A and B are shown apart, each in its own frame.
Chain A
Amino acid sequence: MSIAKKETEIIDDFSIYQDWMEKYEYIIELGKDLPLIDEKFKTPENVIKGCQSTVWLYADKVNGRIRYTADADAIITKGLIALLVSVLSDETSDDILNAELKFIKEIGLQEHLSPTRSNGLVAMVKQMKLYALALKMKS
């Protein structure tokens, strides 16, 4: 499924929730489906560090596509990274690098978009794209 298609599905999923509480409950649920990072990769170089919560992110190339695994110590953060992983995982480096990820704003998570917000989505997206770029050349 293309990134754009996955984004549309997420927008549809979120559109049924009117209340912030349901929305966050859904994000928390998503965190439970996150493909967890292997404990051995929970190293300082795989941390997206902020002063609020910690995210561990790892990526590998499987059959020419980037596969992400991650974890976080706060469960909302875990849900947010899970959301990104579900959209970007198993896509090609080029598609990941070109993804605009407009769904974030559409589903009302723009408050997490502030570049200064620790562990905001911006830092996560940036790290995911960096992995995609680094793995692009790797066969």
Chain B
Amino acid sequence: MFDALAIRNQFPILKTKLGNYPLIYFDNGATSQKPQCVIDEIEHYYTSENANIHRGVHHLSQLATEKYEQARETIRKFLGAKHNHEIIFTSGTTAGINLVASSFGKTLNTGDEILITEMEHHSNIVPWQMLAEEKGLVLRYIPISKTGELVLDEIENLINTKTKLVALTHVSNALGTINPIEKIITLAHKQGAKVLIDAAQSLQHFQVNVQKLDCDFLVFSGHKIFGPTGVGILYGKEELLNAMPPYQGGGDMIKTVSMIKTVYNDLPHKFEAGTPNIEGGICLGKAIEWFVALDLKSIAEYEHDLLMYATKRISEIDGVIIYGTAKNKSSILSFLIDGTHPYDVGTLLNQQGIAVRTGHHCTQPIMDFFGIPGTIRASFCFYNTKEEIDFFIDALKRCVKMLK
């Protein structure tokens, strides 16, 4: 049996009290909390290891460089990538997508097509819209159904010989849907298209192997997977990254610079201009080390149980409408209560110590599809408990009584 309480104890923030109420943190989709070992690592870095990395001959610089590169290795293993230099440190998922849009985008031509889905986060829509406008590309969308699943009936038309890239989310941040990315990758590759996976909402729930999956790019954020904010990863296949022009120019991404010409550095440094978030990278490595040492299979089962339990209990409340009822779903519960505004519900839940997210969750096309301005989203992590869900349901009932 999975021991949520033992894990919970490693997260100091979860002991917070808000007035008379214990904090119930159900906003894990926005960011995860951090275990003590990651918090300690941040402190340790600044008390014992801080120096600028690469090219320093002194002790601290070598130490920090070694730790930073070890983190890259930890992340490579976690993703199942072939080479360390396929792991590019970024500032987060958004930065990773923008890097690909900018650099891979330079290799595209007018009339080329990019395929995304109707359930993408704005960060996987806007960079492609910008690129499409700049280069005269065609941006297409895989539609979604009332259950919040991708409609693949037209997929053979949507992915065609003009399609150069399919960029889609593994797990929907607003609906929880787990998308059949294996199938889409296979179809895309048949037509010669590359595939970018937005794994911001998936890796903290289940492991992904980029080589088995055969995705061309994969991006995620450190802060959603128990690491610090401001650091993230872009995985890309070596040959693709090598073929792409650099993203930003600056230090670290060069081999030689003269007044006439610059020779760019090799991977991964080619895409890591400037002093990176060294502490972030090292501590993300620590967070992932910590995470993979857990029993990930039990975690997946436990989180699924939490979702099922919350789904069942919330249905007790009159007028609840759940958005996102896919068969294959991650631990995200998005809903509205008939006759109430999500902002009101969120405000009153906050008064009872409960952190949920309300609004459009940066997925306005999903909200437009359902014809709603937003939802209330409770997103669960393995440190949450059924007792917390019970408390949440009672608090919700109290809100409804006040608001109706």
Contacts and interface: CB of A to CB of B under 8 A. Distances in A.
Nearest to B350: A111
A107 interface: no
Contact of B402 (A24, A111, A119): A24
B351 interface: yes
A77 interface: yes
B343 A53 contact: yes
Contacts of B347: 24, 76
Interface residues of A, number: 15
A13 interface: no
B397 interface: no
A76 B398 contact: no
Interface core residue of B347, B358, B359, B402 (most chain A CB under 10 Å) = B347
Interface string A40-75: 000000000001110000000000000000000111
Q: How large is the interface on B (under 10, 10 to 19, 20 to 34, 35 or more residues)?
A: 10 to 19
Interface in B345-368: 346-348, 350-351, 358-360
Nearest to A23: B351
Nearest to A72: B341
A75 B403 CA distance: 8
A20 B351 contact: yes
Contacts of B344: 74-77
Contacts of B398: 21
Interface string A69-101: 000011111000000000000000000000000
A17 to B, nearest CB: 12
B371 interface: no
A38 interface: no
A10 interface: no
A52 B351 contact: no
B375 to A, nearest CB: 12
A28 interface: yes
A20 to B, nearest CB: 4
A103 to B, nearest CB: 19
18 contacts: A24-B347, A28-B402, A28-B403, A51-B359, A51-B360, A51-B374, A52-B342, A52-B343, A52-B359, A53-B341, A73-B341, A73-B373, A74-B342, A74-B343, A76-B344, A76-B348, A77-B343, A111-B350
Given A52-B346, A74-B343, 13 more contacts: A20-B19, A21-B398, A24-B347, A28-B402, A51-B359, A51-B374, A52-B358, A53-B343, A73-B341, A73-B373, A74-B342, A76-B343, A77-B344
Interface of A: 20-21, 24-25, 28, 51-53, 73-77, 111, 119
Closest 3 CB pairs of A and B: A74-B341, A74-B343, A53-B343
